[in-house]
Amino acid sequence: MGKEEKNIKFLFFRKSDHKRYVRMLAEINRKVLQSPVAPLQSKYNLTKHVTSEVLKSAWLEGINHGLVDQATEVCENIFQLVQKQAGLHSLLKQLKEMNPQEYDHSFLVAFFSCSLAKQFDWNSTVTTQALTMASMFHDIGLTKLDQNIRGKKRDDLTTDEMTHYQQHSQFSIELLEKNNTISRTILQIIAQHHECIDGTGYPHRLKNNKILMLSQVLIFVNEFADTMIDENLSPINSLKKILTNPLIFKKHNALIVEKFSHIFIDPDVLSKKRAG
């Protein structure tokens, strides 16, 4: 994108632009692979995943172009940080070996949480990076669940098994709290990633502003990414499904949902449609 294009507020990603992103992501890959720290095969696996498996599905729908650049840059910085931290890198590797779908989910959530944070006035580099890191590691505690539970779909869990499953937020904290890169804010965001503003979440059934705003962002994006992957929907169709289901919608902060829609939809176009 040239400098003269920076003032464009909304520019939608077309299928014809896909090649450009493939080139850009290849460049990210190249940079990460130059890092002298982690084993080459591990680096390759991590970056290959990011460049080809997760993001390709997201690129094919209308997404605010400038945001994609910004979110990709933040995610790139976080990947590089993870590469330098053997402990963090190894946790992600364990998650991938245990369940590749959960690993995909973590990267998808990191990318869209970051894109969503960029919609708010309160976003700063430090805040956005904390949210992105929290998003990438929020479900790492799934690796500590009993093996028979890990292999089951959530709908098939017994009451006791569900109680155990719901401890994964706490397990994530336990796996991360001794790592110097993981701040207290990151741990707090992760601890609340299954709460809901209507008080139906877990583990503490927190309501409204008892849940951190950054956690509320992660909570929503987590739902969005689950809908997208579980039901094999495109990003825009996943968002539509949430917007048209009052039972899901009421669990989330309406402002967050509205801001999220701006990642995809030009508000000017929407208001013209409403007026028409």
Q: In the complex, what is the shortest distance from the CB of residue 177 to Fe ion, in angstroms, rounded to a whole number?
A: 17
Residue 139 or 195 having the CB closest to Fe ion: 139
Q: What is the 3-state secondary structure (H, E, C) of 106-158?
A: HHHHHHHHHHHHCCCCCCCHHHHHHHHHHHHHCCHHHHHCCHHHHCCCHHHCC
Q: What is the DSSP letter of 203?
A: S
Q: What is the DSSP letter of 244?
A: T
CB 55 within 8 A of CB 24: no
Q: In the complex, what is the shortest distance from the CB of residue 191 to Fe ion, in angstroms, rounded to a whole number?
A: 11
Q: Is 115 in the site for Fe ion (CB under 5 A)?
A: no
Residue 32 or 173 having the CB closest to Fe ion: 173
- Point out which span in 128-136, 175-183, 221-229, 233-241 binds Fe ion (CB under 5 A): 221-229
**Residue showing tokens 């729908």:** 61
- Point out which span in 112-120, 155-163, 215-223, 234-242 binds Fe ion (CB under 5 A): 215-223
Paired tokens of 241: 């499904």
User: Following CA atoms 134, 138, 144, 145 in sequence, which dihedral angle do they give, to the nearest 10 degrees?
Assistant: 170
Q: In the complex, what is the shortest distance from the CB of residue 111 to Fe ion, in angstroms, rounded to a whole number?
A: 13
Q: Is 222 in the site for Fe ion (CB under 5 A)?
A: yes
Dihedral sign from CA coordinates of 139, 67, 247, 212 = positive
Residue 115 or 222 having the CB closest to Fe ion: 222
Q: Is 83 in the site for Fe ion (CB under 5 A)?
A: no
Residue 132 or 222 having the CB closest to Fe ion: 222
Give the C-alpha separation, 72 to 31, whole Å: 13
* x-or-dash string of contact with Fe ion, 5-34, rule CB under 5 A: ------------------------------
Q: Measure Cα distances from 104 to 3, 92, 154, 225, 263 in Å.
A: 33, 11, 17, 9, 20
* x-or-dash string of contact with Fe ion, 122-151, rule CB under 5 A: -----------------x------------
Q: In the complex, what is the shortest distance from the CB of residue 138 to Fe ion, in angstroms, rounded to a whole number?
A: 5
Q: Measure Cα distances from 172 to 121, 168, 195 in Å.
A: 29, 6, 15
- Name the residues that contact Fe ion, by CB under 5 A: 139, 222
